[in-house]
Chains A and B, each alone.
Chain A
Amino acid sequence: MKILSLNCRGLGQPEAVQEVRSFIQLHRLSLVFLSETRCFNDSVERLRRELGLPFGLGVGCYGRGGGLALLWTNEVCVKLQSYDKLHIDVMIVDRLSGAEMWRFTGFYGEPRRERRHRSWELLHFLSNQSSAPWLCAGDFNEILDATEQFDRWCA
């Protein structure tokens, strides 16, 4: 099982879509989470077609940035739990029994510093929603340790 998470900074250019498609083909991905798609509506019809993935759901963006999409192949069976402009939370279920197996959350941390606390409130909220095995990936727009930033001050 291979999963991709990418902040794609807009999927308007054909090359950008093509790049994602190349990852899907090369790495045989089952689940693809994209942030900053900059798609204005929730429809992922075009993305599904262009990326060659049969299933997907999207969250349209409000301003210039933002926009999320989660797409998957028929290798996984996905049940939507919740979503907003900062996350898509799904449960991977067993195709036959429908039993919940594990949980995936695609996360997009609030880009504005003064609103960053909303990201952490959301994580606290999500942690109380389920106790299933949980994988969470995305662009958190924040670091956990000062060593995760490289600039002229740490050279």
Chain B
Amino acid sequence: MRFWMLQSSSIGGVPRPESQMDGFRTAVNACGFSDLGFIGLPYTWDNRQQDGHNIKVRLDRAFANADFSDMFRDIKVWHVQTTESDHCCLIIECCRSRRSNRRKKRSFRYENMWRRDPSYTKLVEEFWGEGVDVQDMCQLQSTLGRMQVSLQEWERSVFGSVWGDLARLRRELEDVRRRSIHAGPSRHERQLMSKIAELLAREEIMEKQRSRISWLKDGDRNTKLFQARAKERSKCNHISALRSADGVLVTDQKDIEDRLS
């Protein structure tokens, strides 16, 4: 229960006295904090009451001291809209450098939750099941490569759509809420919220179904292979030296490329 809210609304929602904020300001100064600001709507809590009784307040925030801001040169705080809580959530992104503006292509990453979907085994078997004959490293490499592409497409079709829809609906919700900062929730907002709640409930059921599948023992072998490959790629795809068939050590990048192609 938010007692201050009840109290302030009982006296007509008048602005809170300065003295109430003073304790907070003094503590923030003592900690050497700077407010990290935010991207999004200017409040983090909405009492969801109609018109005259509606109050929205910025109750949630992120602070950092000077050493932290020096350590992470690029810090962003987002107010991301929620539907289950009357608070929005803060997402704080901290990067060591400002290079992050360049949108990096999302690298391949094996997800444990994939195994929970029944169609995952089918896909793996297509590449590694009986009848698939891998003769040498070259074939292994190309099979892994093809499988990575298939997995990425499969992930988008199985998991991607729900998360994507959710992200889109939340942005829509933010637009609708932006238009009613000084009023209570509109009908449109309520409709959007119930749409999001429906998606969340659906995903919950799907999640339960996935986790009911018990796992084949030999599935583990494939898992390890994947993780090894994912790890390898994330490190560095770099060959610094190569000894050729005639025993010569080649260190020049250009020569290495020529010999490999």
Using a CB–CB cutoff of 8 Å, the interface residues on chain A facing chain B are 1-9, 13-19, 21-23, 25-27, 29, 52, 64-65, 101-102, 109, 111-114, 116-117, 119-120, 123-124, 126-127, 131-146, 148-155
Establish whether residues A124 and B30, one from each chain, have CB atoms under 8 Å apart when the complex forms: yes
Establish whether residues B16 and A149, one from each chain, have CB atoms under 8 Å apart when the complex forms: yes
Chain B residues with CB below 8 A from A14, complex form: 201, 204
Given contacts A14-B201, A15-B201, A143-B21, contact A148 B58 (CB under 8 A): yes
25 contacts between A and B (CB under 8 A): A4-B91, A7-B59, A8-B84, A14-B204, A15-B201, A18-B203, A19-B85, A111-B4, A113-B7, A117-B23, A136-B63, A137-B63, A137-B90, A138-B60, A139-B87, A141-B4, A142-B21, A143-B16, A144-B21, A148-B58, A150-B42, A150-B181, A151-B55, A152-B13, A153-B13
Interface flag for B192 (CB, 8 Å): no
Establish whether residues A23 and B16, one from each chain, have CB atoms under 8 Å apart when the complex forms: no
Chain A residues with CB below 8 A from B4, complex form: 111-113, 116, 141
Establish whether residues B58 and A19, one from each chain, have CB atoms under 8 Å apart when the complex forms: no
Establish whether residues A120 and B23, one from each chain, have CB atoms under 8 Å apart when the complex forms: yes
Chain A residues with CB below 8 A from B52, complex form: 152
**Contact bitstring B67-79, A, C-beta under 8 A = 1, else 0:** 1101110000000
Bound CA–CA A16/B28 (angstroms): 31
Q: Please give me the residue from chain A that is nearest to B63 by CB atom.
A: A136
Q: Please give me the residue from chain B that is nearest to A15 by CB atom.
A: B200
Q: Please give me the residue from chain A that is nearest to B202 by CB atom.
A: A18
Q: Tell me which of B3, B23, B72, B80 contacts A23 (CB under 8 A).
A: B80
Establish whether residues A19 and B23, one from each chain, have CB atoms under 8 Å apart when the complex forms: no
Interface flag for B224 (CB, 8 Å): no
Chain A residues with CB below 8 A from B27, complex form: 119-120, 123-124, 127
Q: Within the complex, what minimum Cβ distance (angstroms) separates A2 from chain B? A: 5
The SS class assigned to the A binding surface is mixed
Given contacts A19-B200, A150-B43, contact A133 B31 (CB under 8 A): no
Q: Within the complex, what minimum Cβ distance (angstroms) separates B100 from chain A? A: 11
Of A17, A112, A136, chain B has the most CB atoms within 10 Å of the CB of A136
**Contact bitstring B24-65, A, C-beta under 8 A = 1, else 0:** 111110111101000000111100000110111111111111
Chain A residues with CB below 8 A from B163, complex form: 22, 25-26
Chain B residues with CB below 8 A from A148, complex form: 42-43, 57-58
Q: Within the complex, what minimum Cβ distance (angstroms) separates B45 from chain A? A: 8
Establish whether residues B31 and A123, one from each chain, have CB atoms under 8 Å apart when the complex forms: yes
Establish whether residues B94 and A22, one from each chain, have CB atoms under 8 Å apart when the complex forms: no
List which B85-117 residues lie within 8 A (CB) of chain A.
85-87, 89-95, 112-113
